[in-house]
Amino acid sequence: MDVELLIQAIVRQTTVLVARLATDGGRRASLAGISDQVFVEMVLELERQGISRKVSADMFGICLRTYMRQIRRKTEFPARRGKSIWEQVLEFVAAQGPVTRSEVLFQFADESVRQVRAVLHDLSVNGLVLTSGAGDQTTYRPGRPRAAANTNEASRSHELQAALANLDATLNELRAHVVRDLSESSNQNC
């Protein structure tokens, strides 16, 4: 029996099950902390089985230093568990009021700078945080409430559906013209 294939099959089926549970009945359960939880629980189980950290790190395909940093990072902030970085940054800006980019980056130093900047940009573009200034001194403050954003998104969704319906009608008209033109040209060729 190939143990690696068995592990891959179990992980695949578990992933399918979790995805189905998270979306059952139209629900959108947060999966933000799942990978961290799996990692931490796997680490704890390997330790319970007497596997050294050096061997565990090798099993994960990473060096011991990175392995230790991952463990520290994934167990250090239990209040953040289950929340996406997007939600965490939005909550931080809402709670702290006007904050600079440097302050946000410092607060989320355990995350990639690129990712935090991307989240700040996304929050800004969507109006959930308002910005002023430039560079690391850019200031972020709470924008419109999330409910207003969701209403705006619903409105945009409705507009997109109407545009798609118009596009579909236009495509049907074009199809009808093409079919008509093809039948006329084939009648002329006879």
Instruction: State the CATH number of the domain containing residue 123.
Output: 1.10.10.10
* E strands, 17-117, in order: 99-100
What confidence tens digit (pLDDT) does each residue in 1-42 have? Answer: 688 888 888 988 988 888 888 888 877 777 877 888 888 889
Instruction: Name which of 135, 38, 35 is nearest 85 in CA terms.
Output: 35
What confidence tens digit (pLDDT) does each residue in 65-121 have? Answer: 998 888 877 776 555 556 778 888 999 999 988 999 988 988 887 788 888 899 999
- Per-residue CA distances from 43 to 14, 146, 190 (Å): 18, 37, 77
Would residue 93 count as lying in a domain? Answer: yes
135 pLDDT tier (thresholds 50, 70, 90): confident
Provide the domain limits for residue 100: 83-143
More confidently predicted of 158 and 54:
54
Total domain count, the chain? 1
Would residue 7 count as lying in a domain? Answer: no
Would residue 138 count as lying in a domain? Answer: yes
